[in-house]
Amino acid sequence: MQPLQGVRIIEVTTNASGPLATGLLADQGADVIRLETIDIGDPSRHVGGVRGGVTGYNGYMNRNKRSIAVDLKDEGVRPYIHDLIKTADVFVQNSRPGALTRSGYGFDELHKINPDLIYLSISGFGPDGPAAGLRVYDPIIQGASGFSYAQGVGGDAPELVKTIASDKIAAYTAAQAISSALFARERGTIGGHKIEVSMLDASLAFLWADVYWNHSFVGDKGFQPKPLISEFYRVVKTADSYITTIIVGDVEFKGACKALDMPELLEDPRFNVLTERFTNYGLMLGVIEQKAVSITTADLVARMEAEGVPCGAINTFDEVLDDPRVAHSGSIIEYDHPRGGRMRQARPPAVFNDEPAGVRLPSPALGEHTDELLGSIGCSDDELAKLRKAGVIA
């Protein structure tokens, strides 16, 4: 039994931050119902590698969920959706601020019909202010938060992280907040609750400890800035590919010198003292790389690990799938999707009571569960037919 079994979540979300947030909770047992537009549904249905009408992106984000295709702007269908929302514990949306309120699905209206509802909104820059109405995607937040700038610290140009990092960070923040609200409601400390998560706030909180440590003190008096961790983060070229290594303590430094057969570094004052090593870390890696380019990755990793130095090869995507560590932990699962065929995905990472979670439901077709779910709240076959004829459900 997964921990969120019995919790019902209704979402009006698209793309990444919302679907991933609810997907994390669906993986832990929550009953997640997606309300999607009739025409194309969530645009992520059309993003990424595809087979049988199923994309790898949407197939992962929306597994373990059910789908209703509905025109939320239509007033005639609103009472049915409100009746469905009365059965929910959580409502999640990532529309621009105010959009759902105008359609009759804002916090105040839903709180009236379901006082215990936890209502979470994800936005780019928050629910109000000069940027609240802007259309925002992940790269905009990477730029605004310092995420992109951090990739260039040390003299390189700013660069986007090559994944939807700010979207994902907002999603994990939202999922954690929902879990906290559910726990508080269970303890009786709160009933319904309104939660706001901005992508900007989530990214800043994610970055702060290590990226902003030189900006954590107000005023210059007594302040001593230190190089950022990002200045240490670089790969090292070998004879046949690349490795990554972090050499922090004296034991690791001595081990690296031995593994690389570079005893002269032990006498180098730029590197043989911890504080100086941190200051000159990039320079040290450059010196190490001059030797590493003559050693194969397999040989170098073996040498470093034998000396207790954290070190690893840079895997290609295919090498990740074949990595024995991945196989041992069961990190990747396979299952048969009714439209996509045999699919491979990352397993839900949290394991409760030694029971890894799997895929209960494949990602749904658009509107696959419309009749089932509206029927469950008393919508008759005749009513469903009328709504479908009117073009407000599918």
Q: Tell me how far CA of residue 16 lies from CA of 47, 54, 164, in angstroms.
A: 11, 16, 8
Q: What tens digit of pLDDT does each residue of 364-380 get?
A: 999 999 999 999 999 99
Query: H-helix or E-strand containing 145?
Result: helix 138-145
* Helix extents (H) in 239-296: 250-259, 274-279, 281-292
Q: Taking 90 as the threshold, does the pLDDT of residue 260 lie above it?
A: yes
Q: In this prediction, what percent of the chain has a pLDDT beyond 70?
A: 100
Give a yes or no: residue 334 inside a domain: no
Give a yes or no: residue 353 inside a domain: no
Looking at the structure, tell me whether residues 39 and 126 fall in a common domain: yes
Whether pTM > 0.85 for this model: the answer is yes
Beta bridge partners of 243: 236, 313
End-to-end CA distance of the chain: 33
Looking at the structure, tell me whether residues 32 and 164 fall in a common domain: yes
Beta bridge partners of 69: 36
Looking at the structure, tell me whether residues 134 and 191 fall in a common domain: yes
Give a yes or no: residue 54 inside a domain: yes
Q: d(Cα 16, Cα 219) in Å, to the nearest integer?
A: 39
Looking at the structure, tell me whether residues 22 and 150 fall in a common domain: yes
Q: What tens digit of pLDDT does each residue of 197-249 get?
A: 999 999 999 999 999 999 999 998 999 998 888 878 889 999 999 999 999 89
Looking at the structure, tell me whether residues 97 and 246 fall in a common domain: no
Q: How many domains does the chain have?
A: 2
Q: Residue 73 is which amino acid?
A: K
Looking at the structure, tell me whether residues 74 and 144 fall in a common domain: yes
